[in-house]
Amino acid sequence: MKTITIIGTGLIGGSAALDIRKAGFATELIGVDQNEENAAQAVEIGLVDRVLPLAEAAALSDLILVAIPVTAIQKLLPSLLDMVPQHTVVIDLGSTKSLLCEAVKTHPHRAQFVAAHPIAGTENSGPTAALEGLYQGKMNIICEKELSSAHALSAAEALFSVLGLKTIFMQPEEHDKHVAYVSHLSHVSSFLLGLTVLDVEKDERNIFTLAGSGFASTVRLAKSSPDMWAPIFEQNAHFLSHALAEYIKHLQQFHQCLLNGQTDQLYQMMQQANQIRPVLDGIAQVSPVK
């Protein structure tokens, strides 16, 4: 039993808080949030017991989860590690890792830090978006395991077990490359599909009349918070730009076949894309879509 502070009481931090509380994993849950409305709401709906200034919360904490936009995490981590007691473990939950790890690579308290990315979420944001069981059965990635102390890793793995996460280990660049393709690119695609439809369909009634489940599921991620995703795209621009170049190449090829009436080639491209089915079926078995 321990005092846990959650910096950022939205979907990611709030969902962790719900499962921590349900499991009795903490004696007290403290929130830190620059958004006063979110902070008050987090207390009101029981995500945290109270909200404190960062320095005060850090001094009281055995474990700190950082669940804010990744550019803010990058700026915060060095000063946060400066202020925490020697026994305190700091875990970030950001969706990029290279720049975050680089920010504290030579910090004297680096061993107290665990760089993690639980691959879970929804298109919603804020404290009321928090979901019990959000992390259950999902994959979690820890980066630079070798730079975290045995105590820090043990505390992190205990927490991730409570959340129901399955943890694997990667280096930061490997992580950022893979998530650029399997996570970040899908969000870009959804944002731009939504933008394309809104540009063309100025009469919104046509969208609501004609949109079916296929459109809704494909564009769902376009409802995601720009406050969260713009920093992710910024921090992973190198790998995301490569992923986008590959995606654009396939779009251009499809477009050219369409213009040329090359139906056989279009069929072949779609048939090749069908090979993703076993991968998606495997994901569904491990982690049902919410």
Rounded Cα distance between 143 and 119, Å, is 13
* Confidence check: pLDDT of 290 > 50: no
Q: Which of 186-190, 193-197, 275-279 has the lowest mean pLDDT?
A: 275-279
The Cα–Cα gap between 145 and 247 comes to: 32
**Which amino acid makes up residue 219?**
V
Structure tokens at 61: 């904490």
Predicted local distance difference test score (pLDDT) of residue 215? 75
> What mean pLDDT is predicted for residues 85-100?
97
Highest CATH level, class, for 3-170:
alpha beta
Fold match between domain 3-170 and domain 175-286: no
Rounded to 5°, angle at Cα 186 from 104 and 239: 40
- In CATH, the number for domain 175-286 is 1.10.3660.10
Q: How far is CA 104 from the centre of its chain?
A: 20
pLDDT tens track for 134-143: 999 999 999 9
Confidence of residue 288 (pLDDT cuts 50, 70, 90): very low
- What are the pLDDT digits (tens) for 205-220? 666 666 667 777 788 8
Q: Where are the domains of the chain?
A: 3-170, 175-286
Q: Which of 66, 44, 186, 74 is nearest to 123 (CA)?
A: 186
- Which residues, other chains included, contact 262 with Cβ-Cβ below 8 Å and sequence gap of 6+? 256
